[in-house]
Structure 1
Amino acid sequence: MQLGVECTVQPERLQKAITAVKELIAINTDLKTSVPFWKDGSVNLIVLDSDTTNPESINEDSFVKSVVGSKKPSLVSSTLDSVFNIRLDRRGTSIILSALNGDAGSLAGIMYDLKFNAMRLKHWTCAFGPIWIGALKAFHTS
């Protein structure tokens, strides 16, 4: 079985977060969101009785016989793309098929561990002196 993964946020959830931030810092102006500049990260798959963080979980008694795939998500894409190839035994195949037919619940999950800069400052110099642009406010110093 091949599993492609993308990490995205639903527009309603993003709008809810923007509203919460605006209320927290008490501003009425529009906020723009962007994907962080990812510095590093890893991605792990949990499927049935096995996970890629624990190699011992994949053994002769498990539903999953092997997992080959991404150790790191694509840090340059905005969706942190990852791909996994999973080899299942007959029992695991049957359980996954039941889930695809709607007879079982969620059987797999993805864990991201990501590192990013919390704030990046940009410095420009103009005729009036240095200008620093921060995460929430822009200000001019003379």
Structure 2
Amino acid sequence: MSDPIFWLGLSILLVAVSLTAVLIAALPALQELARAARSAEKLFDTLRREFPPTLEAIRLTGLEISELTDDINDGVKSASGVVKQVDLSLSSARKQISKVQIGTHSVVAGVKAAWQTWNGYPERRKNRSSDRLNPSGQEPFEVRDRSRSEPEAQDTE
């Protein structure tokens, strides 16, 4: 048993048996690997056929979304412009209304004053003259006309 050729032959035999066992065990795995490779090849063929149109559709969809976004931005800008114009119109209308109210109040006050003056003028004048002549509440004295009193005085003498 000390023959080296024997040991060499035995080790080659054991290596051959081991390789055979490994190949027998690896055969189903290699078959599955081949099947997976065929499936992957079919998938890649399908992707090669379907992928470019899909990418083109995605690109066109992106362009359409960009256009719609631009349209929406333009619409928002025009709507904000309209809102600003309406706001300016409303503030202008408010200013005009306040001016009209002030003018109307002035006209109404003037008409009231004119009406009161028109209707109450004779009474006020009488009241004022009596107030001026009689501030102490005493009876007013009468003033005689000199031109009438002098000829009468001459006739009596």
Which of 1 and 2 has greater Rg?
A: 2
TM-score range relative to shorter protein = under 0.3
Greater fraction of residues in helix: 2
Higher relative contact order (CA 8 A, sep 6+): 1
TM-score, normalised with respect to structure 1? 0.17
TM-score, normalised with respect to structure 2? 0.15
